[in-house]
Structure 1
Amino acid sequence: MSASPTSGSPLAVFDPLALARRRARARALGPETFLLERVAEDLVDRLGAVKRHFGTVADLGTPTRALRDALAGTGMIDDYIAFGPAERDDTDIVTDPEILPFAPASLDLVISALALQSVNDLPGVLAQIRRALRPDGLLLAGFLGGGTLGELREAFAIAESDTLGGISPRVAPFVDLRDLGGLLQRAGLALPVTDVDRVVVRYGDPLALLHDLRRMGATNPLTDRRRAPLLKKTLIRLFEVYAERFADADGRLRATFEIVWVSGWAPHESQQKPLRPGSAKTRLADALNVPEGRLKRDG
C-alpha cells in the first residue's frame, strides 16, 4: 500500500531521490546498524518507563526493522504498523515522508528512530502526527541532532577551503535541540520533553568513518550538494585535518553522533495542567525562606 507522492516542501533542504538511492546502496553493501540498534534499545527503555500499554502503534520512517524487533515480546503494544521507505523489507505502508496517510485520532503511539532528521518540513510532520494521535496518545522519537558529525563538518570545510578556495554543503544541517520544544508545542502536543544523548565513536582513520556513513545510508543527501566527485587532493587534506584536530592520545579519531529525543502527548483532560496566573496559595518568599524584599532585582 502506498501514499500519494509529493514533490516535497518548498524548502527542499534534502533531496528525497538521493535519500532513497543512499538507503538502497546501504542495503546492497550490507547496512551498518550499531547506531540504529542503540537508539531502538533506548526507545524501548524510555517507553517502558511510561508504564502503559499501547494499542495501535505507527513506526514512522525507521530505516530498518530495528524497532519492530526491539518491541517484539515486550507486551507493550498490540498492533504495529511500519510506515516508511520502500527500501525497508518489512514496510507495511510505503509513504512519502512529508505527507502521512494517518487517519485523524487513529493511533495510540507514534515512534521513530533515526528518520525525522531528513524530512524537509518537520513542523508539518509533527502537526500531522498530532492529528493522528488519539487523546492521550504519545509521540516518542530519536533522531540525529545539530551536533552530529561536527568533526567531519569542520574538517571538510577546511579541506575544501584549502584545496578549492571555497566550501560546499557536505553534512546535513540537523535540527537544534533548543528549537524542538517550541516545535512540539506549535504542533499542539502537550507535556513536551526533549533531551540529547551524545555518542562518540572512535575510528582508526577517516576512511573507516566514511565507509560506515555509506553503509548507514547517511552520506550527503542535500539538495545543494556539490555534484562533482570529491577530488583526491581534497580527500587527502580532509584526512590530514581530521587527524590533526580530532585524534585522541592513542591516534584514534573521534566522531560524534548527537541523538535528540522528543516526546509529547495529544492533549487529554487527565493530564497535568499549569496553574492559572494568580492562583498560587504560597508566596515564593515563604517557599525559599527568605524576606520578600530579597527577591527584588537590583536597580
Structure 2
Amino acid sequence: MTEQSVPRIFSRSRVKSRILRQNLRAAMPCAQQFIWQDICDDTAERIAFVKHEPKRRLVLGMCHDPLRAMLDHCNGDFSDGADWNIEEPFPQGGYDLIAVVGLLDAVNDLPGALIHIRNGLVPGGLAIASFVGGASLPRLRAAMLSADGDRPAARIHPMVDPRAVPQLLQRAGWKDPVVDTHTLTVRYSSLDQLVSDLRDHGLTGALSNAGPPLGKAALERARAAFGSQADADGKTAETFEIITLTGRRSLSGT
C-alpha cells in the first residue's frame, strides 16, 4: 500500500513509548511477562522442530530464554523494536531467521510489514512472528462498553482476525505459510490487576485517536462490570489469543 492509502490507526510515537515503558517495567522484580515468555518458548520449540540452524538472526521484541539461549551463538541482532519501524524496509537484510515477538498487533500496514520481513531474509530463510490476536480480552472489552454506556469510545485496539492472515501472507510472498493460534487464560481478582499486567507487557494504548480518559464514575462502572463476570471464587477469567505466523523466503529469493 502507498503511504496515502494506509489508514493511520496507530501512532508510531505511542507504539515506541509503550515499548520503552515496557522495558522499564520488565526490569522490575514482580513484572509479568507470561505472554512474551510463552511466545519465546514456543518460537524456540518451532526452530528446534524444523531443525533450523541460523547463522545470522534478528529477533524483534522481548526475547526470553530459552529463545535467547538457543540463538546466542548466532551473529545478528536482538532489538526491543523501539528503534525499528517494522512498516518500513529493514535497514539491513540477509538474515537466516527473523523472529518477531509481539509488535505486529499495532501496525498500520500489516501486509507491508510482512513484505519487509520476507525481504529481510536470505533465500530459504525462516520467519516466525507471534502477536496478540483478535479473540483476546473479551471481558475487558465488555467492561469498557459498560463504562462508556451509550457513547462507547475507542479504548481497545482493533486486533487481527487469524482467518484473514493466510491471504495476507500469500500477498506478501511468504513461501509455505502457516498460521495457527493458541490461547492463554489468566484469572484476575480485579480489573486493576489485569491493567497492570497489560502495562507490564507493553500492551497499553497506541491509537492515533484514542478516546478520552475514563472518569471516576466510568472507572467504577468498568470495575463493577469486570467483577460481575467473575467465577464463584471471585476471579474473572480473561483470554489472550496468540497468533503465530511461520514461513520462508523462496530459494529463488522472490
The TM-score with structure 2 as length reference comes to 0.88
CA RMSD of aligned residues (A): 2.2
Aligned counterpart, 1:109: 97
Shift, 1:77, TM fit:
5.9
Aligned counterpart, 1:118: 106
Aligned counterpart, 1:152: 140
Aligned counterpart, 2:188: 203
Write out aligned runs for 1:194-273 (5 A): 194-226=179-211, 228-244=212-228, 246-268=229-251
Three-state SS of the structure 2 residue aligned to 1:74 is helix
Distance 1:115 1:8, change over 3 A: farther
Indicate conservation of the 8 Å contact 1:9/1:121, yes or no: no
Shift, 1:33, TM fit:
1.4
Report which structure shows greater RCO (CA 8 Å, sep ≥6).
2
Distance 1:110 1:9, change over 3 A: farther
Shift, 1:200, TM fit:
0.6
Shift, 1:15, TM fit:
1.2
Distance 1:75 1:159 in 2: 45
Aligned counterpart, 1:189: 174
User: Does 2:7 match 1:11?
Assistant: yes
**How big is each residue's C-alpha offset from its partner over 1:153-187, in whole Å with a ceiling of 9 and x where there is no partner?**
122012201xxx30011111111100111111111
**How big is each residue's C-alpha offset from its partner over 1:222-272, in whole Å with a ceiling of 9 and x where there is no partner?**
11211x33111111111111122x212211011111100110111237xxx
Distance 1:130 1:22, change over 3 A: closer
Distance 2:22 2:138 in 1: 22
Three-state SS of the structure 2 residue aligned to 1:259 is strand
Indicate conservation of the 8 Å contact 1:52/1:76, yes or no: no
Larger Rg: 1
Aligned counterpart, 2:74: 78
AA aligned to 2:239 is T
Distance 1:75 1:223 in 2: 35
Distance 2:80 2:88 in 1: 11
Percent of residue pairs bearing the same amino acid type: 32
Distance 1:129 1:22, change over 3 A: closer
**How big is each residue's C-alpha offset from its partner over 1:177-213, in whole Å with a ceiling of 9 and x where there is no partner?**
0011111111111111111011010011111111211
Distance 1:25 1:73 in 2: 25
Indicate conservation of the 8 Å contact 1:54/1:76, yes or no: no
User: Does 2:37 match 1:37?
Assistant: yes
Distance 2:101 2:24 in 1: 21
Shift, 1:54, TM fit:
1.1
Aligned counterpart, 1:56: 56
AA aligned to 1:97 is I
- 136-145 or 125-134, which moves further after superposition? 125-134
**How big is each residue's C-alpha offset from its partner over 1:100-135, in whole Å with a ceiling of 9 and x where there is no partner?**
32445x121110111111111110011112222222
Distance 1:188 1:128 in 2: 10
Indicate conservation of the 8 Å contact 2:182/2:242, yes or no: yes
Q: Which runs of 5+ in 1 are unaligned?
A: 1-6, 87-93, 270-299
